[in-house]
Amino acid sequence: MFDDTLSEHEPEPNYAKVFPHVKDDPRHALGFLENKLSRIEAIAQSNYVETSNVFGKGFLVPLLRMGVKPGLVFLNRNFRETAKSLFKRGSTPMRTERGRHYSADPRAPGSLPVFSPDKLSDYQLCFWGVLDSYYRQLMAQSIYDEEGGVYHWVTANDFHDFEKTLEVGRNFGLEVSDLEKARDYHGSVVREHHNPNRGGRDAGCMDFAGQEIEVLDRVSFFVPRLVDEFLAGDFIGHDVVEAIYGGR
């Protein structure tokens, strides 16, 4: 909807294909990014937007080391709903094929620290993966605040609102010359169901709060202030906050 802008979701070359190797040795990201940048430089449009579930989990710092500082959109929604979606898809960090390609690994350096990840349930690992993504967003924000980078925090629902979508784009210098045409296009995109979850696992009636509290407790031995930030945010379950703070 923005002028002179190409927008893509997880195009080739796809971060997910090389991500397992990057977790073993982050230098693998450098060659991949050189190829990625060559493709981006060849597009006709002046602006390029790419959405990815993987980029922020191991490719931002290598890209910054290459001297490239992209604008960043930090997208979030309710942590539990995101973790349940990963669980249903079978995208369990360090355990399943999808998890190895799309999720961080708690055993890899730079990940959100948690002890004995092998003893966590599949759902707990999915919840850990959601926390890890948020942790990396906070680290990226800290780097950009120091280095003068451009970023924008959004929720999944924000992009359903045309004016909020305009605001996000304009924050990165993107413009719209025909507002009505852009509004119509935005409406057509919003009405379409993107990336539907066709996973085969049922989360059922498991004790989500109890499992999440255990993960937060394991993380708090390493980064207690970060756990406080998780609990003070908008994306954690109210039942978790209530159980930990006891209504104080």
Tell me if 89 sits within 8 A of 197, measured CB to CB: yes
**217 pLDDT band (50/70/90 cuts)?**
very high
Asked if residue 176 lies in contact with residue 1, where contact means CB atoms within 8 angstroms, the answer is: yes
CA 148 to CA 152: how far, in whole Å? 13
pLDDT at 205: 79
Q: Are 246 and 216 in contact (CB under 8 A)?
A: no
Cβ contact 29:73 at 8 Å:
no
Single pTM value for the model: 0.94
Cα 96 off chain centre by:
19
In the prediction, which pLDDT does 220 show? 98
Tens-place pLDDT, residues 195-213: 666 666 877 779 999 999 9
Quickly count: other Cβ atoms within 10 Å of residue 119's Cβ. Answer: 9
Residue 10 DSSP class = S
Q: What is the pLDDT of residues 15-37, one digit of tens each?
A: 999 999 999 999 999 999 999 99
For 118, the token pair is 């092998």
